[in-house]
Amino acid sequence: MNPKIFQTLSYGMYAIGVEGENRPSACIANTVIQITSSPMMIAVSVNHENYSNERIKATGKFSVSVLSEDTSGTVIGALGFNSGRNADKLANVNYKLLRENVPVLRENICCWFLCKVVNTVETLTHTVFIAEVKAGSDNVAGVPMTYDYYHRVIKGRAPKNAPTYQDSDAKTDNSPQLKYVCPICRFEYKDSEQKIPFDQLPDDWKCPICGVSKKEFKIEG
């Protein structure tokens, strides 16, 4: 069977907000789907290793911020490639805290909603949370970002914990040209595609996707 069959499935891009032990936290998920409209129910698949999984199980609630095409790669990088277990992932992200202590993003989202878990389904690696939508934003704005847009236009990747991760997320380009690769999110900086060669970038330059510092990048030929 060709593993690419799953690449034909379409998704959106979402920030899942959770109540952390010490501070609010969030991660990126592409696996939010609508289950029913009455009652309003959705499902999301969250990896067992993710802090968000632990917090959703502990609190029974989470929020969904629907990312718009204007969401920057830096926000996706901050939420999608680090764990809230040991980092304040929302430190540089504009968010508001709902009364229920769950964060939702303030900028570049189409809308948000607050979810209460009503059922869970365990798989080998992920928990599928089935949840009822209890509240949501009054306004809907912007163009929702699709998973395809994230890959094709923002040139983003997905980490191993994303259910849709495939080896092609780790490496997509077989051309022999020199490239500098981020060890965390695998963003590739190719001199041939940029105005400034990598070694002339300032020392405080950071990966535009996940914020890793320039010195961590590895050369791949």
Which residues of the shown chain bind ligand FMN in the complex (CB under 6 A)? Answer: 25, 27-31, 45-47, 50-52, 76, 80-85, 150, 156, 158-159, 161-163
Q: What is the C-alpha separation between 216 and 78, in angstroms, rounded?
A: 16
In whole angstroms, how close is the CB of 80 to ligand FMN at the nearest point?
Answer: 3
Considering the complex, state which of residue 46 and residue 105 has its C-beta at the smaller distance from ligand FMN.
Answer: 46
Considering the complex, state which of residue 82 and residue 217 has its C-beta at the smaller distance from ligand FMN.
Answer: 82
Q: What is the C-alpha separation between 20 and 26, in angstroms, rounded?
A: 9
Give the 3-state secondary structure of the chain. Answer: CCHHHHHHCCCECEEEEECCCCCCEEEEECCCEEEEECCEEEEEEEECCCHHHHHHHHHCEEEEEEEECCCCHHHHHHHHCCCCCCCCCCCCCCEEECCCCCEEECCCEEEEEEEEEEEEEECCCEEEEEEEEEEECCCCCCCECEHHHHHHCCCCCCCCCCCCCCHHHHCCCCCCCCEEECCCCCCEECHHHCCCCHHHCCCCCECCCCCCEHHHCEEEC
